[in-house]
Amino acid sequence: MEKKIALLPGDGIGKEVMDGAVEILKAIEEHYYHRFHFQYGMIGGAAIDEMNSPLPQETLQMCRESDAVLLGSVGGPKWDKNPSHLRPEKGLLALRKELDLYANLRPVETVESLLDSSPLKREYVEGVDFMIVRELTGGLYFGKPSERNVKNGEHTVVDTLFYKRDEMERIIERAFQLAQDRKKKVTSVDKANVLESSRMWREVAEEVAMKFPDVELQHMLVDHAAMALIHNPKQFDVIVTENMFGDILSDEASMLTGSLGMLPSASLSATGLHLYEPVHGSAPDIAGEDKANPVAMILSTAMMLRHSFKMEEEAEAIENAVKHVLDSGKRTADLTRKGEKPFSTSELVEEIKAALADDHAIFNIMEAYA
Catalytic site includes residue 223: yes
Q: Which residue is nearest to Mg ion (CB)?
A: 223
Catalytic residue, from 100, 129, 247, 359: name it: 247
Catalytic residue, from 251, 285, 327, 358: name it: 251
Which of a second copy, Mg ion, none sits in contact with 345, Cβ below 5 to 8 A by type?
none
Would you say 224 or 310 has its CB closer to a second copy? 224
Would you say 192 or 299 has its CB closer to a second copy? 192
Would you say 9 or 258 has its CB closer to a second copy? 258
Report in angstroms how near the CB of residue 276 gets to a second copy at its nearest: 20
Q: Which DSSP string do the residues of 10-72 spell out, in sequence order?
A: ESTTHHHHHHHHHHHHHHHHHHHT-EEEEEE---THHHHHHHSSSS-HHHHHHHHTSSEEEEE
Question: CB-based burial of residue 96 (10 Å sphere; 0-12 exposed, 13-18 middle, 19+ buried)?
Answer: middle
253 half-sphere exposure, CB direction, 13 A CA radius: 33
Q: What's the start-to-end Cα distance of the chain, in Å?
A: 24
Indicate whether 247 belongs to the interface with Mg ion (CB under 5 A): yes
Catalytic site includes residue 191: yes
Report in angstroms how near the CB of residue 229 gets to Mg ion at its nearest: 14
Q: Does the bond joining 145 to the residue before it have cis omega, within 30 degrees of 0?
A: yes
Count CB atoms within 10 A of the CB of residue 363.
13
331, 340 in Cβ contact below 8 A?
yes
Which listed residue (30, 147, 251, 358) binds Mg ion by CB under 5 A?
A: 251
Q: Which residues bind a second copy (CB under 8 A)?
A: 89, 118-121, 124, 140-141, 143, 146-148, 154-166, 191, 193-197, 200, 222-224, 226-227, 229-231, 244-245, 247-252, 254-255
Active site residues: 141, 191, 223, 247, 251
Q: Which residues bind Mg ion (CB under 5 A)?
A: 223, 247, 251
